[in-house]
Amino acid sequence: MKKLILAGLVATCSIAQPLFSQSQTTPPPTPTPQQQQIQPRPMPMPMDNNQAGPRLTPEQMKQAQTFKMQLMKETLPLKNELREKEARLQTLRTSEKVDLVQINTLIDETSKLKASIEKKKEANMQEYRKTLPEDLRVQFDTDRKGFMKQLKARKPGKNKQSGQNMQRPPRPQPRPQENNAGDNH
């Protein structure tokens, strides 16, 4: 009986080994023609090739910061309330006895808070837009997110001489670790 079990085990192992070794050496699949055609999107070029970002005067930069601070002050209480309601909603969703009426009420309240925050953001952006000269307004209207991202990168006080962002210095390379365990060359 033992010989029969041992023979069965040896036979199983000898059959399974080639199967496992084949699955480990399988080359990666070749990409499909659709995957080969996917290429990264080119980054949009700034409107003025001499400068990276909007051409704002120091006064306009200060004004943009004022609009930003005003929006932050207006939306902070709403965002805090939204976070509280979302935490309460998560608690209700994971409780032992789920109360759908309370959950639906909180969903409605969080939706209203999100809408209120978005409306304040839009009003603030429209007020800021009114202060821009026509060429910057066109750039702002064409790519609002890109405009604001570039503006965010160009805070007052960064490389005032050229009006461009100062580049971050390169990161130091890690030093190779020395082997002190017995090599004394």
When pLDDT is cut at 50, 70 and 90, the band that residue 48 belongs to is: very low
Please tell me the predicted confidence (pLDDT) of residue 172. 67
How many Cβ atoms from other residues are within 10 Å of residue 113's Cβ?
20
Dihedral sign, CA of 154, 157, 163, 166?
negative
When pLDDT is cut at 50, 70 and 90, the band that residue 179 belongs to is: low
Please tell me the predicted confidence (pLDDT) of residue 27. 61
For residues 143 and 152, give the distance between their C-alpha atoms in angstroms, rounded to a whole number. Answer: 14
Which distant-in-sequence residues (6+ apart) come within 8 Å of 67 by Cβ?
Answer: 124, 127, 128
When pLDDT is cut at 50, 70 and 90, the band that residue 84 belongs to is: very high
- Which domains does the chain possess? 58-153 (1.20.120)
Q: What angle do CA 55, 59, 64 make, to 5 degrees?
A: 75
Tell me if 165 sits within 8 A of 149, measured CB to CB.
no
pTM metric for this prediction? 0.53
Mean pLDDT across 109-137: 93
For residues 181 and 184, give the distance between their C-alpha atoms in angstroms, rounded to a whole number. Answer: 9
